[in-house]
Amino acid sequence: MAARALAVWTVVAAAGCGRLAFDPSGDGGTSGDDGSSTSDGSDASGPSCAGFDVCDGFEGALGANWTTLSTVSVDTAQAHRGTRSMRFQSPALLTNQSAYINLIDSTTIGAFTPTTVYMRSWFFLDSLPAAANRMYLISTEPSAGGNGDFLFAFSNDTDVFSQYENQSQTSGFPFPTDTWFCVVLHIDRSMTAGLLSASSDVVPTATLSGIATDSSSQPLAIVYFGISFAPINVQNAQPAMNVWMDDVIIHHAPVTCAD
């Protein structure tokens, strides 16, 4: 697998706050004729997975589109629907240490190169990042490293961040802990006039529009879900934490929390 891009979110003291990015780096699934992948892990008690490019409730074998990085496992301690979910376990981190604990889809958006991508997930966090630390829960990145688009969770806020433009937009509220919540990350892919937006059932929508969200030389190809801490985003000692994820959809057309 190609080297992982590092998303770095920093605050620059000025008349306002700016965000900069730095990139030092450079189953049980079935495939349709169009290349789509629908896992057999869908939950019969919830809405149908039929018709989505990727849809997984992790109730059966992990879909063939998925790979895992670090301490990721199917777990029964928490579930949004059904009895199982994916669990991401991060150890305690010292300042400037990194942690990448991810469920990865490296086939769907690279194969389709859709103009629009929607990523829907239900999350359960047992804690938020420590003060001044910044964790991203979802990212889309090129296969060879480079810039990307990110959904960040802070101790006191949430944030969408375009590394192509070094721009971000906050929602004004943090995600909750010890309860399930939904997030839909929407990307209109463009080198000049794209859109990056995160909507949720618990925090206001955060949107960046009229910005670069993709690159012709390093197009988005991989989706990462889970716990991701770049070294510079760990400003203080970070306690161990757990994140659970369930009922994931990746699709080229709009999806909602009700799907």
Q: How far does Cα 226 stand from its chain's mean position?
A: 6
Q: What is the C-alpha to C-alpha distance for residues 246 and 253, in angstroms, rounded to an integer?
A: 20
**Hunting for tokens 């590394």 — which residue is that?**
163
Q: Which domains does the chain have, with CATH numbers?
A: 36-251 (2.60.120.200)
Grade residue 31 by pLDDT with cuts at 50, 70 and 90: very low
Q: What is the value of pTM for the model shown?
A: 0.85
Mean pLDDT of 94-118: 93
**What DSSP state is assigned to residue 109?**
H
Q: What is the C-alpha to C-alpha distance for residues 221 and 147, in angstroms, rounded to an integer?
A: 11
What would the pLDDT profile of 161-185 be if each residue is shown by its tens digit?
A: 999 999 999 999 999 999 999 999 9
**Hunting for tokens 């991508």 — which residue is that?**
117
Which pLDDT belongs to residue 11? 36
Angle made by CA atoms 8, 120, 178, in degrees to the nearest 5: 80
Number of Cβ within a 10 Å radius of residue 156: 12
Q: What is the C-alpha to C-alpha distance for residues 223 and 214, in angstroms, rounded to an integer?
A: 13
Which pLDDT belongs to residue 146? 82
Q: 90 near 98, Cβ under 8 Å?
A: no
